[in-house]
Amino acid sequence: MKKRGLILIIVLVPWLSFIEGQKILTLKECYDMASKASALAGEENAYSDIWQLKDKNLAKGWLPSLDAGGSILYNSSVVDMTSVLGSLPIPGIAGMISPLPHEQYKVTVDINQVIYDGGAIKNARTLEKAGMNVSEKETETDLYKLRSQVNGYYFNLLLIDRQKEILNNYLILVNKRIKTMESALANGVIIKSDIDVMSSEKIKIDQQIRENEILKASLLTQLSDLTGTRIDDGSKFILPSLQGEISDELLRPELQLFDLRKEQLAAGLKAVDSKRMPKAFGFATLGYGNPPGNNFFKDAFEPYYILGAGIKWNIYDWNKAKNEKEVIARQQQILDNRKTDLTDNLKRLLLSKKAEIENLNSLVESDSSLIVVRKRITASSESQYNNGTIIATEYLSELNAEQQSVINYEIHKIKLSMAKVEYLNISGKEIE
């Protein structure tokens, strides 16, 4: 029992290590890693932080403003009642009113409070929020473009892995055939050139496998750089399984961006309207000066205050608001035209990609049938070669044709999956 347990551990440990060493990567995971690794990844949070700071500042427009000030004035001419009062026939009246001082000193704290702003602050906050939404969607649009690069690397790696698997299986088959031929040569059944034909095929397969490994190493390096994650030769890539009917509904972030920009322009229209609304405000001044406030006849430093309220209404702005609205209307028309143009282009791309999908579906089906036929032909050729009715080159030609049909089947199957993924990317839908 102990020996059996030891043998089981010896067998299982390498197998478990192999399973653990294989890192399975899906296409969706590669999308997510590429987005996180991009230099643009932190922009959405940055835009949110910027908007929050701006919104806080705009909200503080309802708080009173405090301004400190001070001034020193010298008036060359001031009111002097001495000569006027001296002409009156009243003794001593001329000295009762001193001349106003030439100097004026004051230090003030001015307080202003918005009472009604016609919606200016509210509309400005809405406009800033719309601007943030546009900036975030622009970043999302730029990140979405990374998917096409990921697709290229991912599906090429899938194709290389499948080709390598087929080539290794083919190599095993050729090696077995060479051993069989060597035995036949020893018995004088075949000639040496037959083995040379198969040996040359083995060398060619070895070359293809080596080329395959070099190309895969290059693609792994590029995909690792794009995703910001180390992806080695032990990683296993999964062919996306996309079932069901494909829809032509468009959900591209670029189209959503046009809608957000229109919302931004609509918020701008309301901001323009708020400029023409009446504004009400209150104010107060707390001061210390000589003369105090408007008491010009008092030559002394004393505190004073002023309270008041006001209203301001721009009743005519020389059509400035009208022109601004016209500019926004033209910008909205441009956005509508560009959205329509992009929608038409995307629909044309979907039609083209749908035709490609239908063609690849047809090729995959015919490939399956062709493989069955090719296997029968190869089996027949092998029998003919063993009976001496055909030479090794003819048999090898049929064997190559069978292998090529298998390779074509795998290529078309992977291309079909890629075409479906690209269809989803064009329409803006997520891959499950």
Residues, the chain: 432
Bridge partners (DSSP) listed for residue 279: 312
Domain of residue 106: give its range: 65-78+95-116+279-312
**Centroid of chain to Cα 318:** 43
Q: What is the pLDDT of residue 98?
A: 67
**Centroid of chain to Cα 315:** 46
C-alpha Rg value of the chain to the nearest Å: 43
Instruction: Look at residues 265, 288, 312 and tell me which one is the last residue of a structural domain.
Output: 312
Assess if residue 83 is contained within a domain: no
Would the pTM count as exceeding 0.95?
no
Assess if residue 45 is contained within a domain: yes
Quick one: tokens of 302?
Answer: 């004393």
Q: What distance, in Å, lies between the first and last C-alpha atoms of the chain?
A: 48
Phi, psi (5° rounding) for residue 75?
-105, 125
Show Cβ contacts of residue 254 under 8 Å, excluding neighbours closer than 6 positions. Answer: 141, 342
Same domain? For 303 and 376 the reply is no
Which own/partner contact pairs does 186-189 have at CB distance under 8 Å and 24+ positions apart?
A: none
Same domain? For 236 and 264 the reply is yes
Q: What is the pLDDT of residue 85?
A: 56
**Location of structure tokens 């999302």:** 140
Same domain? For 150 and 228 the reply is yes
Q: What is the pLDDT of residue 7?
A: 43
Same domain? For 325 and 415 the reply is yes
- Cα–Cα distance between 406 and 372 in angstroms, integer? 10
Sign of CA dihedral 343, 344, 347, 352: negative
**Centroid of chain to Cα 41:** 7
Contact 253, 144 (CB under 8 A): yes
How many domains is the chain built from? Answer: 2
- Cα–Cα distance between 378 and 389 in angstroms, integer? 14
**Location of structure tokens 């629909």:** 347
Question: Would residue 428 be called left, alpha or beta, if left means φ above 0 and alpha means ψ between -120 and 50 degrees?
Answer: left
**CA 220, 223, 228, 230: dihedral to nearest 10 degrees?**
-20
- Cα–Cα distance between 385 and 54 in angstroms, integer? 83
Report strand pairing: 23-25 vs 235-237. parallel
Assess if residue 14 is contained within a domain: no
Q: What is the pLDDT of residue 5?
A: 46
- pLDDT profile of the chain (432 residues), mean per 10: 44 42 84 94 91 95 94 80 58 61 88 94 96 96 95 96 93 91 84 90 94 95 94 90 79 95 96 93 94 80 93 91 95 96 96 95 95 95 89 91 94 95 93 78
- Cα–Cα distance between 153 and 255 in angstroms, integer? 27
**Centroid of chain to Cα 152:** 18
Assess if residue 9 is contained within a domain: no
* CATH code of residue 196: 1.20.1600.10
Respond yes or no on whether the N-terminal peptide bond of residue 89 is cis (omega within 30° of 0): no
Q: What is the pLDDT of residue 155?
A: 96
Bridge partners (DSSP) listed for residue 112: 65, 283
Same domain? For 299 and 323 the reply is no
